[in-house]
Structure formats: C-alpha cells, structure tokens
Amino acid sequence: MKAPVLGRFFGQAKVETLPDIAAAALRSDRFRLEREGDWKRLESILVKMERGRLRTLPDDDILALPALYRIAASSLAVARETSLDKATLSFLESLVQRAWFQVYGPRRGLIGWLRGFLGGGLSQSVQQIWLDICIALAAMVAGTITGWLLVRGDQEWYYSLVPSQFADTRVPGASREVLLQSLAVDKDAQGLGAFATYLFSNNAGVAIMAFALGFAFGVPSVLLLVQNMAILGAMWWLYSNAGLSWEFAGWLGVHGTTELFAILLAGAAGIHVGRSMAFPGKRSIMSATAISGRRAAQVMAGVVMMLVVAAILEAFPRQLLGMQDRLMIGGSMLALWLTYFFALRPPKASAISGDIR
C-alpha cells in the first residue's frame, strides 16, 4: 500500500543511504563513513535546538547530546591529523562550533533569568557599585547646589540653565499664585496614560544615554548628572523664593524619589564602567571592563524597571493627589527602594560572578 501523500510533508526526511564503508579507497574516508551517522544525528539535534524547539526533542536525543558533541570534537581532532578532505574538515569545524554553542549555551530562559534578577541579582549588583553610587550622588548634590547658587547670584542664569519647555510660566518674577497654579492638581485622568508612557520612553532613553556615555571613562556621565541637577537647583530656588519649598518638594518627590534614584543608578553604572576602564587594577582592561559592563547592565535593567514605576507615579498620583499624599507616596517609595537594594542580603548564589572566570 502506498503511503499517504501528506506523509511527505510531515514525515521524517528519508535517511540517505551511506556508501559501503569498505568501498572507500582511502583510510580517512573510511574513518569518516564510520562516524558520519553520529555527526548527522548531532546536526539534526542542533537544527532543532537552534530553532528553539527544545520541547519537541526526544529525551534520548537530549541525553545523547553531550556524548555526540564529544564524538564530533574528537573526530575533529583526529581528522585534523589524518585527513586532507577539506569538505569533511570544514563541516566538522562548523558542527563542533554549533554544538559547543548549544552545549555551553544559556541554561536559563528569560523567566529563569528574571527570577534570579529580581530575587537578588539586581540588589547584589547595586551593592557592588556602591562607590560609584556615592560618586554619582556627590555629582548630583553638587549640581543642585550649583544651580541654586548660580541663580541666586544672577537671575539671568535661570534662562540659560532651564530649557524653554520648563520655563513657560515658571520664570523669575512670577507671582506666588502663578507658581502655585503650576503645581496644582488636575481634576481629570484623561490623557494621563499617554503622558505616563511618553515620560517613560523619554526618561529611559536619557538614562540609557547617561549609562552609555560612561564608556568615555565616566566623565560625560558625571557632566550629564551635574547639568541635569542644576536645572532642578534653579527651579527649586524659584519656588523657595516664593515660599513654596514644601509644595515643590511634594510635586517633585512623588515620582522624583523613584526617578532621581533611577537616574542616580544609571549614572553610577556608567561611572562604574568608565572607572574600571581607567583603573582596571590587577585584571586586564578587557576582563575588568567586561565584568563591570555586565554588572552595570543588570543595574540598567533595574533602572528601566524603576522608570516604569516613576512614569506611572508622575502621571497619576502627581496630577491627581494633594500635597500630603504626594509627600507620603514619595517618601514610602524611597524607603521601599532603599530596603530592596541595600537591606536585603541575597543568598550567595551569585547571578553574575559565577558566569565569568
């Protein structure tokens, strides 16, 4: 009876018959024909794994993978010394390479990585860059004070420090009522969702930039922090001059504790990379940079997460809640982040340092 036609599409490809081993004239070809079945089996397993179809792979194949990899690897070693067949050699080289990528490939999926990341990997990385966090914090404080002092000395500085998008009604000489109005509560939640998304996308872009600029030995990261905080210092002076210090702190703090913390971490991550390039210590520059870069990347993933939270806080509670609630939310968010990053001692199973030797 003939096989159904569909079988051609869904069935296994027909195994091609190998030539008789004894028929090969050359010893090296006999060597190849004896092992070719194993190589082909390894190749078919690899094709499935590369397509991400690990689940469809039978248990036998998964168990056989390490053995098949070793067979292919030792075949390559022998073939290099005995065979001049270029086709076989380049096939084996690419086969062993591909098998190596799968055998020593990532062991955890995205979910597994996320679990390790949130359950200790992130806070561990943050703790490891404490020195850079201190440097970034110093830069931010210095920037705020500079902005404040500059504007107090000469109000013209306000216009050069604060970008025009912020300086609408909020300019020196504005009355207390106008300034209070700019901190007011919206009555309606309309449009705030889009506002939050825009804020997130914008801030995340800036934070990633602050990190990436750390590549130039961290200097641009520091400059960026100082410059941005000078804007804050200038605006703070404006509001405190009108006797609105607390109101401004509430307006800023509800999301600012999260957002400024995230920017602090992004800057610190950039400084961390730049610093380990400039002062690699006993390690080579390459390995020092790679280790600190991977650590900083973890921090940056946390930064993006924090910015999502910050954008939601900025769009909804800030626009809808009053003074007291704003200050309370801001304060408790800060406490929450500090506890998560610094108070919890993660289990010592390291997410990062175990991967790099």
Residue ranges in 272-311 that form contacts with other proteins under rule CB under 8 A: 273, 286-287, 289-298, 300-301
Least separation in angstroms between residue 4's CB and other proteins is 29
Look up tokens 């067979």; give the residue.
Answer: 71
Number of residues that bind other proteins (CB under 8 A): 87
Q: Which is nearer to other proteins, 23 or 344 (CB)?
A: 23
Structure tokens at 339: 């506890």
Query: Is position 94 an interface residue for other proteins (rule: CB under 8 A)?
Result: yes
Q: Look up residue 330 and give its two tokens.
A: 């801001």
Among 3, 6, 13, 87, interactor with other proteins by CB under 8 A: 87
Rg over alpha carbons for the chain, rounded to the nearest Å, is 30
Q: Does 88 participate in binding other proteins (rule CB under 8 A)?
A: yes
CB 246, CB 323: distance < 8 Å: yes
Q: Which of 10, 13, 104, 347 binds other proteins (CB under 8 A)?
A: 104
**Shortest distance in whole angstroms from residue 221 CB to other proteins:** 11
CB 137 within 8 A of CB 264: yes
H or E element at residue 93: helix 86-103
Indicate which single residue of 63, 77, 131, 145 sits in contact with other proteins (rule: CB under 8 A): 77
CB neighbourhood size of 185 (10 A)? 13
- Of residues 16-35, those binding other proteins (CB under 8 A): 19-20, 23-29, 32-33
- The CA distance from 328 to 333, in Å, is 9
Closest distance of CB 169 from other proteins, Å: 25
Q: Any idea which residue has 């940056």 for tokens?
A: 300
Sign of CA dihedral 137, 142, 143, 148: positive
Q: Which of 11, 34, 37, 50 binds other proteins (CB under 8 A)?
A: 50
Nearest CA to 227 out of 174, 198, 178, 263 is that of 263
173 phi-psi bin (left φ>0, alpha ψ -120 to 50, beta other):
left
Interaction between residue 350 and other proteins (CB under 8 A): no
- Least spacing, CB of residue 121 vs other proteins, in Å: 9
Residue 184 binds to other proteins (criterion: CB under 8 A): no
Nearer to other proteins among residue 182 and residue 289 (C-beta) = 289
Please state the closest distance from residue 16 (CB atom) to other proteins, in A.
9
Q: Closest Cα partner for 24 from 100, 85, 97, 78?
A: 85
Least CB distance to other proteins at residue 93 (A)? 6
